[in-house]
Amino acid sequence: MAEERRVAEAWARGQRVRPAFVYRPSPNLDDISSVLHSMVESVSRAGPWGELYADRASELLAEARIVRSIGFSASMLESSACRYPSDASPQHVEAEARACAWVQLRPKQGEPSYTSDDEREPSSLLSLMRATVGALRLALRVEVSENLPCYAAAGDGVVLIRGGVRHRRRDAERIVVHEIEGHVLPRLRAMKHGPSLWLAGTAGGADDEEGRALLLEIRSGWMDERRKAALGRRHLAALAVRQGADFPDVVDLARGWGEDLAEALWTAFRVTRGGGLGRELVYLPALLRVEQALAVDADLERWMERGRVSVAAARVLRRLGAPPDRFGFPTAA
C-alpha cells in the first residue's frame, strides 16, 4: 500500500507519523440488520437448531456494527470489543500468559527467504500454494494482492497472498497448511451440503477455525519459535490497543519485544487496522479452546472439518443429528 510505504519511509527518517488510511463509505446494512434481528427473535424459539441459527445471526449483527464503525476509532474499539472480547475468563488469562512467554523467545536469524509472489522460485509462497492446490485438484484460484492486510487469506473460490513480502520456506509451508487445511478444505466440504449451517458458519465458528488452523500448524511441525513470538506480539499489541495505545505506542512496544522497525510497523498496521479491529485477540484463546477440547474428545474434529463450526456447536450438532427440513415454531395458546 502507498500509505504503508509513506509511513515506513517517515519512520526510517525518525518521524513518528501515524497512518492516514482512507476507508470506503460503509455500505447500508439496515435491511440486512433488520432481517437478522427478526431471525434472532423468531428462529431462537425453534428448538436447538433454531438456537444455533439465532446465535449466528446475533454474531453477524455484531459484525455489521463493526462494518459501520470502520475508521472511527472510539466507535470501532467499542464495536470490536463486543465481537472480539478479552475478559478475565481462564482461557483469556492463559492466552495472555502464553503470549507473554512467547514474546521472550529469540528466534534464530539468517535463514534464506524468498519473495512471496516470485513465480520462478519453487520455494515462494505463491509457488507452494499453487503446487498444493494442483496436487489436491482444488477448484481454487491463487491470486496476488498488494493491498492484503495479512500474508494470506481464503475466500470463495480463491486464496489471496500478499505480494512483495519475503518468507522463509518453512513460513510459506506453514501458511499453506493454515490456509488450505485450516480454511479452504472445511469450506469446500461445507459447500457439498448446499445452503446450511455448515456453510453459513456457527457462532464462534470463524474464531475456532483459526484455533484449529494454528493447531494444524503445530501438528505439521511448522510452528517454530519465530511464529510463536509473532503470535505473542500480536496478541499483546491488540490488548494494548484495547487499552488505548495508538500506532506509535504499538511500534514502541514491538521494538521493545525485539522486532526490527519493519516488523514493528507490520505489527502496528495489523492491530490498528480499521481503527482497532482487534481480531488478533481471537487466535490464542481459540487455539487453547480447540487444543483442550480435542485432547479430551477427538471426535469433535470430524464436525469441525465439515465447515466453519465452533467447538461448542460441534458438541450440539453431534447430538442433534440430521437437520430438519424446516423449522417448527411454537404456537400461541
CA distance 61 to 34: 9
What is the chain's alpha carbon radius of gyration, rounded to the nearest angstrom? 21
Rounded alpha-carbon distances, angstroms, from residue 307 to 83, 123, 226, 310: 20, 30, 29, 9
Alpha carbon distance, N-terminus to C-terminus of the chain: 61
Q: Which residue has the higher pLDDT, 321 or 177?
A: 177
Residue 166: strand, helix, or coil:
strand
Q: Is the pLDDT of residue 333 over 70?
A: no
Please report the pLDDT score of residue 330 as a whole number: 44
State the average pLDDT over residues 145-155.
91
State the average pLDDT over residues 172-193.
94
Q: Is the pLDDT of residue 257 over 90?
A: yes
pLDDT in tens, 189-247: 998 876 688 888 999 999 999 999 999 999 999 999 999 999 999 999 999 999 999 99
Which letter, b or e, does each residue of 314-328 get, where b requires 16 or more Cβ atoms within 10 Å of its Cβ?
bbbbeeeeeeeeeee
| pTM, rounded to two decimals | 0.92
Averaged pLDDT of the chain: 91
Residue 273 grid cell: 487496522
Q: Is the pLDDT of residue 329 over 50?
A: no
Q: Is the pLDDT of residue 323 over 70?
A: no
Residue 298 grid cell: 477427538
CA distance 250 to 238: 9
Q: Is the pLDDT of residue 267 over 80?
A: yes
